[in-house]
Homo-oligomer: A and B are copies of this chain.
């Protein structure tokens, strides 16, 4: 491995000058610049990034927290973030928290030990107070999730509006008996807000909700199957279901189909996210602008790192869109 010293020797110059050329500093003659470049090429020299990191006290690396990368919502988010980061010369370290508080806390060491310049959280398991102390080690940006107490920027969607939009659509189609099938992290404001928006739409339309039409802890296709089973055994069945994800919606649709039900005649279903899956299953869904979320979050992060200023609380709220298909 050639070092900067070797290059200097070969070019008959000092390390300083070589370093200047590498980092495109001014005050170097064209002549010497050429000499250095040539020496670098001959030695097949590349700057050692560990040394650079130590010297510059920064890593050009950003950690991204996701629960699981196989969840299409998060893989989409990460895909866009990686592209955006690469464009600006940053790498991404992938941290899968697996919805576990402890995992999430473990990864915080990355920031503390200076392995990354900053953290982007796309989901939050722990209380914000767990993150707070780490702010002194580098910037943190929250996206998708949000927390009232987080003293950092959050890029997110107004989930009240999103579920309101979806529910309103069902109501406009004439349904009055509407089920609600979502995950239900009690701690998560996303869950809370979705429910608020849902109830608000019902309320405005003067529609009643029954306790037995709430189905919780639904995250996956499998959960959708289970929810349909419960739903289909009710005496008084809902005519439509609002769901918290396209997977759940797809699961319900599939189970309904297998049971000989027709969608939307026997049961209308609305998904959330607008994943490719939704198009495939012809599901009406509430689209989240994932690309925009990812880009904005990454931009905020890179700005923060480069400005070397601590970030303050700030909310970037993006709009939803309803994608109408044949499941409603």
Contact = CB atoms under 8 A, between A and B. Distances in A.
Interface of A: 46-51, 53-54, 57, 59, 61, 68-70, 72, 75-76, 78-79, 82-83, 86, 91-94, 96, 109-110, 112-115, 221, 247, 250-251, 254, 276-277, 279-281
Contacts of A49: 113-115
Contacts of A68: 79
Given A48-B114, A75-B75, 5 more contacts: A70-B72, A82-B96, A92-B94, A221-B280, A247-B276
Describe A's contact surface by its main secondary structure: helix
B54 A51 contact: yes
6 nearest CB pairs, A to B:
A50-B53, A50-B54, A49-B113, A75-B75, A49-B115, A46-B112
A69 B79 contact: yes
Contacts of A47: 113
16 contacts: A48-B114, A50-B54, A50-B57, A50-B59, A50-B114, A50-B115, A51-B54, A61-B93, A69-B79, A70-B79, A75-B75, A92-B93, A94-B94, A247-B276, A254-B280, A277-B280
A32 B61 CA distance: 36
Contacts of A59: 50
A281 B96 CA distance: 28
A105 to B, nearest CB: 13
A75 B277 CA distance: 16
A74 to B, nearest CB: 9
A78 B50 contact: no
A257 to B, nearest CB: 9
A261 to B, nearest CB: 16
Contacts of A109: 46
A59 B91 CA distance: 14
A69 B74 CA distance: 10
B96 A93 contact: no
A94 B254 CA distance: 34
Nearest to A83: B96
A2 B235 CA distance: 66
A50 B58 CA distance: 9
A243 to B, nearest CB: 14
A82 B69 contact: yes
Contact of A79 (B91, B96, B254): B96
Contact of A78 (B53, B93, B94, B110): B94
A54 B59 CA distance: 13
Contact of A53 (B53, B70, B110, B276): B53
Contact of A91 (B57, B78, B93, B250): B93
A110 B94 CA distance: 16
A50 to B, nearest CB: 4
A298 to B, nearest CB: 13
Contacts of A75: 69-70, 75
A48 B113 contact: yes
